[in-house]
Structure 1
Amino acid sequence: MPERRPVSAFLAEATVSTEIAELRPDYRALLVVAQGLTPGTSDEVSDALLSRAEAAATARLAANTVEELPHVAAWRDAYRAFGAKPQRTRNSLEALTRRAPSGLPRVNRLTDVYNAISVLHQLPIGGEDLDRYVGSPRLLRATGTEPFDTTADGADVIDHAEPREVVWCDDLGVTCRRWNWRQGRRTALGEDTTDAVFILDALEPMTEDALRAAATDLTDHLRRLGPDVHVTDRLLHASAPRPTDPPELS
């Protein structure tokens, strides 16, 4: 397991490439680190939260198609901008929203919480095990050589991002392909995860207040997963990859 770095350094060195600013200057990423979590399987509380998300998605889809939902539409446009076909590789928000009326997966307490918050607040969220990171998160356009630890036909494989694809990386390779399409196995949350980082992705028309509200909701639910959960965050703008650290969430 990689040597633990201070969370302050982990967040301070997270970056969004200037190429992302050129692609989508409205992009923001809110990184939320939660430490002191008690891992576990899905429970009644996470099940109830997922049920709320399923009901909310069902109500939204009674009035609009998935493609017409404002935040889904924004991400479909972003995917087209870097050459991805959103009908083939759906962003995580769209994939969860489509699935919600027939039932969201019950995976583990951490994954259940962030999937539910993603659907409820209508933004993509990724969750990663902090102890499995090497270096800090970087959002960039791939060269095509970055390794991606995944599975294919039930076997473990090392894949690679396509050239110019938008990816999240650390020092060892890709942690999430196509911005927020598929996360790698190496840094995935598990039932032994005690410290995690969550990446909340936002594009217009989502406001910064709405992004913060989603983070607060996420944090409130994470705090029940341990007697002394400590949460720190940092907001990154596409137009300013290294902003001043904001205060911790309280």
Structure 2
Amino acid sequence: MFFRHSNEMWAEFPELVAGTLFAEGITSTVDAAAPAAGYHAAAAERLAQGPESEMPEIQAWRRSFSKMGLKPTQYRCASEALLRRFRQEGALPRLHPLVDLCNAVSIAFAIPVAVFDLSKISGDLEVRHADGSESYLTFAGEMEHPEPREVIFADAAGQAHARRWTNRQSGLSAVRDGTRSVLIVAEAMHDTAGDDVPKLIGALAAELASIWSIEGRRGRLTASSPRFDPSPAMNSQLQQKRD
């Protein structure tokens, strides 16, 4: 499979910076509490200087949600929702070591991070506008259909793995105890996103190496190079074509 944003998305949001990380060999038996706590501390330090709504990363996503015709305080990007909960409760729920780590990194950087179980994705995965026929499985087990023109993560089978772009992930491809292969995606719109997104992906790659002894494969997507393929051979071929 490969991951990409549609050409239309790049045209509408040229400020987008996206980073990817592919990993195989994930298990749920490791302990990620200590590194997650370090990122929680970084988030708490930022929140001590002002609420999440004042962070440039969050403000940029609010502008993007408004551009999509959504009320930003009704539909919050994932990092804002996590930061808000962390500010109010002082902690985040523990779900799975990798999810906990990604959530912790997300609030430290104030950037949405999605992690998908690749075994639940059919064919390629694309961030695009919905046509309204796609199916979305909630965490409660209910089936929904995204609104036409809503931004979704869609696979080749018409399954929506996230709704309203970075607002809500599907229960279908959520990381579970049996998950082994994952795709992690970080997206940002703010002025320094070009520096911050690679730093975030680098931090997660370092944690994968330290906690799971996994060497993940990283990618950075741009309008001129919008596709990420987890296969090293395919990535090499694409790079040769670009060169």
TM-score (norm 1): 0.84
Aligned residue number for residue 113 of structure 1? 101
Aligned residue number for residue 21 of structure 1? 10
Query: What secondary structure, in the 3-state scheme, does the structure 1 residue paired with 2:108 have?
Result: helix
Unaligned runs of 5+ in 1: 1-9
Query: What secondary structure, in the 3-state scheme, does the structure 1 residue paired with 2:205 have?
Result: helix
Q: How far 1:112 moved relative to its partner?
A: 0.8
Query: What secondary structure, in the 3-state scheme, does the structure 1 residue paired with 2:33 have?
Result: helix
Q: How far 1:38 moved relative to its partner?
A: 2.4
Q: How far 1:80 moved relative to its partner?
A: 0.8
Aligned residue number for residue 4 of structure 1? none
Aligned residue number for residue 153 of structure 2? 168
Is the Cα–Cα contact under 8 Å of residues 205 and 215 in structure 2 kept in the other structure? no
Q: How many angstroms apart in 2 are the aligned matches of 1:39 and 1:61?
A: 30
Query: What secondary structure, in the 3-state scheme, does the structure 2 residue paired with 1:214 have?
Result: helix
Q: 2:28 aligns with which of 39, 45, 61?
A: 39
Aligned residue number for residue 71 of structure 1? 57
Is the Cα–Cα contact under 8 Å of residues 6 and 128 in structure 2 kept in the other structure? yes
Is the Cα–Cα contact under 8 Å of residues 208 and 215 in structure 2 kept in the other structure? no
Aligned residue number for residue 178 of structure 2? 192
Q: 2:83 aligns with which of 67, 79, 97?
A: 97
Q: How many angstroms apart in 2 are the aligned matches of 1:40 and 1:80?
A: 41
Deviation per CA, 1:207-231, whole angstroms, max 9, x where unpaired? 323211111110111123434x231
Q: How many angstroms apart in 1 are the aligned matches of 2:164 and 2:224?
A: 20
In structure 2, relative to structure 1, the CA distance for the partners of 1:242 and 1:193 (3 Å cut) is: closer
Deviation per CA, 1:18-60, whole angstroms, max 9, x where unpaired? 221232111122121011222237x3xx222332233222222
Query: What secondary structure, in the 3-state scheme, does the structure 1 residue paired with 2:36 have?
Result: helix
Unaligned runs of 5+ in 2: 229-233
Query: Root-mean-square deviation (CA), in Å?
Result: 2.1
Q: How far 1:158 moved relative to its partner?
A: 1.0
AA aligned opposite 2:41: A
* Equivalent residues, number: 229
Is the Cα–Cα contact under 8 Å of residues 43 and 109 in structure 2 kept in the other structure? no
Q: How many angstroms apart in 1 are the aligned matches of 2:203 and 2:212?
A: 16
Is the Cα–Cα contact under 8 Å of residues 40 and 108 in structure 1 kept in the other structure? no
Q: 2:165 aligns with which of 179, 182, 186?
A: 179
Aligned residue number for residue 67 of structure 2? 81
* % identical aligned pairs: 30
TM-score (norm 2): 0.86
AA aligned opposite 1:25: P
